[in-house]
Structures are given as C-alpha cells and as structure tokens.
Amino acid sequence: MRCSVSGPNFFTITAHTLKDSSEGWNAYHIAAAAHQPGLLYPAEGSLFVNNDPPLSFFLAGLIERFTTDAIIAGRILAFLSTIGTGIAIGLAACLMGAGKLQSLLAAILFWAAPWVIVHYSALNDPQMLGNFLDAVGLVLILRSPRNLVFIALSALFLTAALFVKPLFLGPPLALSIWLFVYERRSALLLAGFGFVFAAIGYGFEFFTLHIELLSQLFSPRVFAWSAIPPGQWLAVEVLPLLASLSLFRLKKDGLAFFAAVYAALAFGLGVVLSAFGSTGPMIDAGMAVALGAAVFLARGPVTGWTYPALGFTAAAGAGFSAGLGTGPLAAGGDGTALCHQFRHNGDQAPLRSGAVRDLDALLLGVKTGRGGCDQSHPGHWQGRRPGSDLTHLFESHYFSMIQLQTNSALMPPSPLWLPLVRNYYLEHQGNGLFLIPRFEPIRR
C-alpha cells in the first residue's frame, strides 16, 4: 500500500509514513534512551552500529514519554528546532548590524534553503537540533563577546551541539578564528570552557552509559565524491554564498570578517563531511550564507535588484526542496529505516513503539528470522566490519531478506557483489531491491 504525501514535512508530523531511511533508526535510539539506555550502543562486532552521540536521543526520549511514539517525538523536536534556528539566525543578523528587514530575510533564506523546510523541518533526525544549539551559541557570543558569562554559555551550547552530532564544527571554528583575530582573550576563554564542558559530557557518558564515545564516533567511513551535493545546493544558494564571501574585502570590519569566515568554513566542511557519508552538513552552510547575506545587505551597496534577487533565491530554494521532498512514501515502507528491527544471533529484540512496530509488521509480515539492509543510516555500516564478515553471512544465508539500494556500495565493482548474487536472488523491487536466499548457491 502506498500513499502520496505532498508539501512541507511540518504538515505531516503525525503521519504514519516513513519520510526518510533514518527515521526508524533514530526511533529505536529514542525509545532506548527513554526506556533502556543500555541498548543505545551495541557491543563491538555487532551487526548494528551507532556512531552518533546520545544527547538528541535523550531529549527526544523526554517527548516520547508524552507522545508514546518515538518517531513523532523526534519530528516534534526537529520542528521546534527548525523554527528556533531561523529565529536565532535573525537575532544574530540583528546583533551583527542588520536591520529588521534584513534580519527577517536571513531567517527566511535559512528556512527556504534546500532540504530545510521540506526534508528536515519535521523529520525524525537530530540534524536540526544541532543547528539550533549552534545558532543559540552564536547569538550568545555575539551578544557580548567579552563577557565571561556569555562566553561560557556560548561554549555550553556549541559543545552540546557536538554531543548531538560531531559534524557541527563550523560555528565553533569560525568563532574561534574571529575571536583569535579580534578578541584573543575571548578566544582562549571560549576554547577553555568548550574543553571543560566536553570533558564533563564525555565523563558523564562514560560513567553512566559505560561507553568510550570517541571509539564510537570515529569508526571508519568510506569517502565517496558521489555523495557530495554542492551542485544541487549551489543551484539555488550561489548568490548568498558569493555575497557572504565578498565580505572578506571589508578587512577592518570584524563582524563582516566573521560572516565570511563562517560561510567559507561551513561550505568547505559541508562538502568534505558529505563525502564521508554524513547527513545534513550542507544545512550548516545554508545557515552561514543566510547570515552572510543579511550582513552583506547591511554593509554593501544595495541596488534595486538586490532584494528581489535574494527573494527569488528563497523562493527557488523552497521550490527546489519541495521538488526533492515530495513524492510517494510507502505506508510502511522504506525498508532501510527498519534495519534496527531485524533480529540477529539471538540478540534481544530491540525496543519498539507506536509507528515503528506497525511499520515493521507491514514490511515483514510474511517474513520471519533475520533481515539486512545496506543503508539503515548512511555511514554506519561503511568500513565498520571487514568484507570477509559479510561474505560469510551471505554464504551461510544468515539473512532471510536483504533490502538493497540501487546505488549501494555492494553493487559492482564491489568484491562483495559476487558472493551476494551467488547466494541471493531478487524477489521483488520496490523501495530498493529485495533479495532472498537461493536454495542452491550458484557455483563459482
């Protein structure tokens, strides 16, 4: 059964449809954080991997206690974070000298940036929470860059963002460079407070969850140029990016320098992190260029076409996002999101709640045993286990069903492709390729 869901995601917060392949993966961890935190991080060698910090799971877990549905809880948190991030960007632009209209435009440019309104605004994913924490940290330091209390609070929020996802590096790096050039004492204080808060958070996780977080976060990843989206992103964001980078010419203007550094760093990091399989790093770049565009309008010569051009950019970004984010959604059905449901080696069945349980039943109603998929969450399987492990699992028919994306890393020329097709064949094609074991493997 299928249904078509059109329009921005925030209109479908309570929809019992999967919007992305990560929603089920995140739902499992939200439910675990709310009820059984010991399940957040599996043992070494498990077929299931978690290389995200736990803060977003615990915050969404608090909401889950009221909604009783982990997916909807994550979407609510994402929606509130998206609204809060846009407001914070507008406040930051105002603190950097932009007028009311220019600050409003900064917020609109961010909300309309590719993937924000349609994809991430109400998606069960921690991306927008991290952006919100970074935006609050940015507002605090801009409010009073020499005040010890504001510096400490800014460091707290910036560090908290890194405990949501370790990819939120743009704002703290840009702020450190800016402060080192213009307010060196503040730069040292920001770094010092950040180190203290990071150590406290790391120690708290070590003694409560009994995990060594760094080993979880820095598991191997595969670098793939094909995963980089700047071509799509630049199609609608090139004007705010160029406006932001042009601020480098205002050498004596410290705030303009910060806006330019932030835009350059966020875009560069977005490209690199995307290639390593991280999800959502270009959202930070969208946040940076929205802020930079507002500062450009406040500092640079404004012609008759400037505002219409940036308004067109916002409209084009929203339209581009809508084109990417609409379409048919399986009523139970992007199998990649359900990898956490599959049992393996007699391990304890993972937690289930609300829509997650229903989706699992829809997908695997006639299947029992074990299932596997290659993209339960981009980057989590890549490089974590040697290929010989998967080859052995294929040859032993370990999985009763495998869901494979058409752009999977297991496709040719992968050396794992031949062991896979020798032992599995295509049962049907829907949201990917669904393979089941052959009764007799094809001879080598």
What pLDDT does residue 163 have?
Answer: 93
Least confident of 77-91, 110-124, 283-297: 110-124
Distance separating alpha carbons of residues 1 and 5, to the nearest angstrom: 13
Convert the pLDDT of each residue in 367-419 to its tens digit: 334 444 444 333 333 334 455 667 878 888 877 777 777 767 677 877 888 88
What pLDDT does residue 360 have?
Answer: 34
Convert the pLDDT of each residue in 20-57 to its tens digit: 767 878 888 898 888 888 888 877 666 667 778 899 99
Distance separating alpha carbons of residues 266 and 249, to the nearest angstrom: 19
Instruction: Outline where 112-253 has alpha helix (H).
Output: 127-143, 148-162, 170-182, 184-209, 213-217, 230-245
Token pair of 423 as six digits: 């032992």
What pLDDT does residue 330 have?
Answer: 27
Is the predicted pLDDT of residue 180 greater than 70, yes or no? yes
Tokens 């978690």 -> residue: 50
User: Which of 178, 173, 170 lies closest to 283 in space, CA to CA?
Assistant: 170
Least confident of 1-15, 268-282, 305-319: 1-15
Q: What is the DSSP letter of 119?
A: I
Least confident of 39-43, 73-77, 235-239, 248-252: 39-43
Beta strands of 282-360 (E only): which ranges?
327-330
Mean pLDDT of the chain: 77
Q: What per-residue string of b and e applies to 389-418 under the rule 16 or more CB within 10 Å gives b?
A: ebbebbeebbbebbbbbeebbbeeeeebee
- The fraction of the chain above a pLDDT of 70, given in percent, is 70
Backbone angles phi, psi at 195, to 5 degrees: -65, -40
Arithmetic mean of pLDDT, 251-277: 89
Distance from the first to the final alpha carbon of the chain: 39
Q: Which strands sit side by side in the sheet containing 432-437, from one edge to the other? A: 371-373, 401-404, 432-437, 424-430
Arithmetic mean of pLDDT, 180-186: 94
The model's confidence at residue 114, banded by pLDDT at 50, 70 and 90, is: confident
Is the predicted pLDDT of residue 264 greater than 60, yes or no? yes
Is the predicted pLDDT of residue 1 greater than 60, yes or no? no
Pairwise pLDDT comparison (160 vs 226), residue with the higher score: 160
Strands 401-404 and 327-330: unpaired
Q: Which of 126-140, 203-217, 235-249, 389-403 has the highest mean pLDDT?
A: 126-140
pTM of the model: 0.77
The DSSP code sequence of 11-63 is GGTT-SS--STTHHHHHHHHHHHHH-GGGSSPPTT-S----S-SHHHHHHHHH
